Amino acid sequence: MKVLMKGNEAVAEAALRAGCRHFFGYPITPQTEVAAYMAKQMPKLGGTYLQAESEISAINMVYGAAAAGVRAMTSSSSPGISLKQEGISYMVGADLPALIVNVQRSSPGLGGIQPSQGDYFQATKAPGHGDSHLFVMAPASVQEMADFVETCFETAEKYRVPAMLLADGMLGQMMEPIELKETEPKMIEKPWALTGTKCERKHNVINSLYIEPDVLEKILIERYARYAEIEKNEQRAELYKMEDAEFAIVGFGASARVSKSAVDKAREKGIKVGLIRCITLWPFPKKFIEGTVGKVKHYLTVEMNMGQMVEDVKLVVNGKAPVSFFGRSGGIIPSPAEILAEIEKIAKGVN
């Protein structure tokens, strides 16, 4: 049965269905419905909804709950995520799995409250200080806002890394009919969790401090071996009309959704263009793009920022075809017509 839901509410409902009973948040537009939904539902389920005194506290509560071995999450929007970066780095350093939702708004500082994809670099390159990565998924529909929650929790727990659902104000605020999962979440044993020794085992320690450089380097190498496994096993992308594509749009999230309409319109005009929609942003879905290199004459990266993912596309294409960028920022969502005009310009240039 389909239900009509806002993206933010879908995230919250999916998290509850994924067995998450611990939510720690702080109000910020445009993600507040996640918290509001949790505040309403958690008490009925015997879970914890807690409005912290700051984003910093909220992420540290998640750090504590994740250390206790439960499924825990927080959600925020761009300026709030900056505040959470301290805690995110500690979670990376302590190998703690949890879910962080970023319903992005626009630009540095307070910026604006309209949708944006300006936190791509932050999410994929430097989620906190030190060598670190998160498992990052980018939904492009309310259905995916719900579906990716369980994937984020499972992947986070499997590899012991924090996960981020990188959405934006458009996906958070829009309503769509969705199908909600009825399946039981897959929970795994967490022998490292802090549950009390019962004086039956050696004490567990959750920590990210290692004063001796050779010890710390070994820990980083072990963590990066897990990152390599994630890169090998967890890349996801959607290839749309790419079978015969001479041109490709590369995008993610809300902007990829608009790009899909532009692809359809271009096809009507006889332009052989397809879309590579990146679903995981870290790991970057290199193998999906690599599979098109040699066939595609020109890549156009479309984003709602000043040009961020385009750098990763260029690295994968590695000079074998031109890679250009089209974006709107400041909270503006590009229109299909604008993207179509870019495709037409490129098609004309190449032919």
Partner 1 sequence: METVFDRPHALTDKVFHYCPGCSHGIVHRLVAEVLDELGIEGKTIGIAPVGCAVYAYEYFNCDMIEAAHGRAPAVATGLKRSNPDNVIFTYQGDGDLAAIGTAETVHAATRGENITVIFINNAIYGMTGGQMAPTSLPGQVTQTTPYGRDVKTAGYPVRVCEMLSTLDGVALAERVAVDSVPDIRKAKKAIKKAFEYQIEGLGYSIVEVVSTCSTNWGLSPVDAIKWLKENMLPYYPLGVYKDVKGGKE
Instruction: Write out the two tokens for 284.
Output: 């970057």
Residue 100 interacts with partner 1 (CB under 8 A)? no
Give least dist CB 133 to partner 1, A.
Answer: 19
Residue 310 interacts with partner 1 (CB under 8 A)? no
Q: Of 208 and 261, which has the nearer Cβ to partner 1?
A: 208
Q: Nearest 5 degrees, angle CA 289-CA 290-CA 295?
A: 90
The CA distances from residue 105 to 33, 109, 226, 336, 343, in Å, are 15, 11, 31, 21, 27
Chain residues 269-298 in contact with partner 1, contact rule CB under 8 A: none
Give the DSSP H or E segment for 6.
strand 2-6
Residue 204, CB half-sphere, CA atoms under 13 Å: how many?
15
Q: Of 1 and 209, which has the nearer Cβ to partner 1?
A: 209
Q: Of 31 and 60, which has the nearer Cβ to partner 1?
A: 60
Choices 155-163, 191-199, 308-316, 322-330; region in contact with partner 1 by CB under 8 A: 191-199
Give least dist CB 39 to partner 1, A.
Answer: 14
Where do runs of H (alpha helix) occur along 23-173?
32-45, 55-67, 78-93, 120-124, 142-159, 169-173
Give the DSSP H or E segment for 3.
strand 2-6
Residue of 46, 182, 205, 213 interacting with partner 1 (CB under 8 A): 205
Residue 79 interacts with partner 1 (CB under 8 A)? no
Phi, psi of 79 (to 5 degrees): -60, -30
Q: Of 129 and 232, which has the nearer Cβ to partner 1?
A: 129
> What is the CB neighbour count within 10 angstroms for residue 79?
15
Give least dist CB 54 to partner 1, A.
Answer: 6
Give least dist CB 261 to partner 1, A.
Answer: 43
Give least dist CB 224 to partner 1, A.
Answer: 21
Residue 153 interacts with partner 1 (CB under 8 A)? no
Q: State how far the Cα of 340 lies from the Cα of 335, in Å rounded to an integer.
A: 9
Give least dist CB 188 to partner 1, A.
Answer: 16
Give least dist CB 140 to partner 1, A.
Answer: 32
Q: State how far the Cα of 42 lies from the Cα of 22, in Å rounded to an integer.
A: 8
| DSSP β-ladder status, 163-168 and 72-76 | unpaired
Which distant-in-sequence residues (6+ apart) come within 8 Å of 322 by Cβ? Answer: 298, 299
Instruction: Write out the two tokens for 187.
Output: 């929970």
Residue of 125, 175, 177, 207 interacting with partner 1 (CB under 8 A): 207
Residue 228, CB half-sphere, CA atoms under 13 Å: how many?
6
Give least dist CB 82 to partner 1, A.
Answer: 15
Residue of 174, 194, 216, 321 interacting with partner 1 (CB under 8 A): 194
Choices 146-154, 163-171, 190-198, 333-341; region in contact with partner 1 by CB under 8 A: 190-198
Binders of partner 1: how many residues, by CB under 8 A? 40
The interface mask with partner 1, positions 37-76, x = CB under 8 A, is: -----------x-x-xxx-xxx-xxxxxxxxxxx-x----
Give least dist CB 191 to partner 1, A.
Answer: 12
Phi, psi of 205 (to 5 degrees): -130, 130
Torsion, Cα 50 107 288 145, to 10 degrees, reads 30
Binding site for partner 1 (CB under 8 A): 22, 24, 48, 50, 52-54, 56-58, 60-70, 72, 86-87, 90, 94, 194-200, 203-209
